Chain A
Amino acid sequence: MNIEEWKSQIKRGTLEFCILLLIRQQSSYGYEIISILDKYPIIAAKENTIYPLLRRLLKEEYISSSWQEGTEGLPPRKYYSITDKGQEYIGAMSAEWENLLDAIKEIKGE
């Protein structure tokens, strides 16, 4: 049984969705996003996954970014927020996600 391979595939397929949901909840910066995801092993990911992914989402205009000066000794942070296009994308993804859950439920015979 190779559950790890399957888990990593799930992660690959859903990380984008999770990050967008997270940013929609509240504008956030890279380290914070990584820390929050870290709480959930199934979608926890390292810097070398999250940052390039954020950059891609930025390029595709699902999110926007702005640097904010640090206060009280804190470093400047690059905050990401959701765009209208991102909202739309989340909407479409959510619908598909529901489809998937329904399909699994039905196939399982529940």
Chain B
Amino acid sequence: MEKVLDEYLEKMEKYLKPIPVSERVDIINEIKSEMQELQCNGVPAETIIERLGNPKDLAKAYLGDLLSKESRFRWNRFLTVCAFYSLVGFSGMFVIPCLGIIAPAFIVLGIGAPVLGAVKMIDYIFNLNIPYMENIGISLGEMVTFNPVTEFIISLIVGVLICLAGRIAWKLLVLYCRKISKTAGRLSYEERE
């Protein structure tokens, strides 16, 4: 091939440095193939170079996507990632431990209350004289005494309500974690792009 054409390809290769070697070689080979094709058709080297334009511009056209894509969102991405992790860090510090304690504790209490209520009621009905039964009761600041059957019904209702609250807390916790991992996943996906 003529010297001017080789020089053209050398220059192009230099400007294509940001592209991995294997791809770069392929790009150069393709342009070279077109040069040879044109030469076969009897087109003089000068006309070929004129047709292809400045080697720097041709190389830049390949880099175009690469450069604009990266520089455009690198800074934005940095801020997004920072904002995301600080938000998660701060909110997670409160949200996860609070919900994490509330959920199981409420469920255990919700089950526990009616069970104890039932024990007291059974004790009362069958006169079993189980010890410490006087410690079980409805407390609103101080012990309020009702008929143990009424107490059992109240404890059952309160227990169900507390259980429901525990379940809601648990669902919120799961939702929160899912949302975070989803967003984190999306962020790292964008990074790979």
Contacts and interface: CB of A to CB of B under 8 A. Distances in A.
Interface of A: 29-31, 46-49, 51-52, 55-56, 67, 70, 73-78
Nearest to A78: B30
Interface of B: 26-27, 29-34, 36-38, 40, 51-53, 57-58, 61-62, 64-65
A75 B33 contact: yes
Contacts, number: 54
A30 to B, nearest CB: 6
Given A48-B57, A73-B40, A29 B62 contact: no
Contacts of B58: 47-48, 51
Nearest to A54: B30
A105 to B, nearest CB: 35
A78 B28 CA distance: 12
B40 A74 contact: yes
Nearest to B37: A31
Contacts of A51: 27, 30-31, 58, 61-62
Contact of B33 (A56, A73, A78): A78
A49 B33 contact: no
Given A55-B62, A74-B40, A47 B33 contact: no
28 contacts: A30-B30, A31-B33, A31-B37, A31-B38, A46-B51, A46-B53, A47-B31, A47-B52, A47-B53, A47-B58, A48-B53, A51-B27, A51-B31, A52-B62, A55-B27, A55-B62, A56-B65, A70-B36, A73-B40, A74-B40, A75-B32, A75-B36, A75-B40, A77-B33, A77-B37, A78-B26, A78-B29, A78-B30
A19 to B, nearest CB: 15
A75 B62 CA distance: 23
The 5 closest A-B pairs by CB, nearest first: A75-B36, A48-B61, A31-B34, A75-B33, A52-B61
Contacts of A75: 32-33, 36-37, 40
Contacts of B31: 47, 51
A11 B33 CA distance: 26
Contacts of B62: 51-52, 55
Nearest to B39: A75
A75 B30 CA distance: 10
Nearest to A76: B33
Contact of B37 (A52, A55, A67, A74): A74
Contacts of B40: 73-75
B51 A47 contact: yes
Nearest to B53: A48
A29 B61 contact: no
B34 A47 contact: yes
